[in-house]
Structure 1
Amino acid sequence: MAVQAPSHLGRLVCLIGFLLIFHSGYSTFEHLSYLKAIDGHESGLPLDIVVELLASVALFGIGIVLVADDFKEILMETEMAKQ
């Protein structure tokens, strides 16, 4: 098996996904601070924050898949030989 270097595209997608997750968390904090300042009561978050969070989690997951190496086989004979 050849060892492949992690994909630069995968790292970029992970970075974008992480930044979007961070931004959606910051937006949530700002929204809740605004509601507290105006004594407003809302049961949920705005749709744009929820959509941003879901998109960022999907992007982050795709980036992780692009960066990860292939699975290695786990054979019982190999594990027993190590012991």
Structure 2
Amino acid sequence: MASIFHKFLLVTGLLSLFHAAYSAAQHRSYLRITEQKFVSLPVDILVQGIVSLFVAMYGIMYIAGEFKEIRATVDLENKSWETAKNIPSFYIFNHRGKALSPNYIPPAQKSSLEEIQS
């Protein structure tokens, strides 16, 4: 369970990251108004952006909880082959295979005259 400290870190990191982005936009506007050439962002904005990004990532990692294994075999080791292949969305009960059954009785076909009348 995420502690209040980690949530506070996440919010602080995100707010600081938005502030760094706003400061960068303000710096670009200032350069346009004063007709100066853009070379790079000031060091304080770069440092604030990078540090706030890492603080936000640290907060997110502790709020998200335990990571799952990337390999699918770890999750599938405890399942049998029958349950792993059991996908109900692929069940099809009305197919042509029933016509191969010796007990299959085909439905009565309508004549073309009966189809027109109905």
Runs of 4+ in 1 over 2 A off after TM superposition: 71-74
Q: Partners of 2:43 and 2:62 in 1: how far apart?
A: 29
- Greater helix content: 1
Point out the structure with max Rg over C-alpha: 2
Q: Which has the higher contact order (CA 8 A, sep 6+)?
A: 1
Q: Given the two structures, how large is their TM-score scaled by the length of structure 2?
A: 0.60
Which sections of structure 2, spanning at least 5 residues, go unmatched? 88-118
Across the aligned residues of Structure 1 and Structure 2, the Cα RMSD in angstroms comes to 2.0
The alpha-carbon distance between structure 1 residues 29 and 80, as it changes in their structure 2 partners (threshold 3 A), is same
Amino-acid identity (%): 29
Q: 1:6-54 CA deviation, whole Å, 9 max, x = no partner?
A: 2211110000000000000110011000000000002110000000000
Q: Given the two structures, how large is their TM-score scaled by the length of structure 1?
A: 0.83
Instruction: Say if 2:44 is the partner of 1:48.
Output: yes
Q: Partners of 1:56 and 1:71 in 2: how far apart?
A: 23
Q: Partners of 1:49 and 1:25 in 2: how far apart?
A: 8
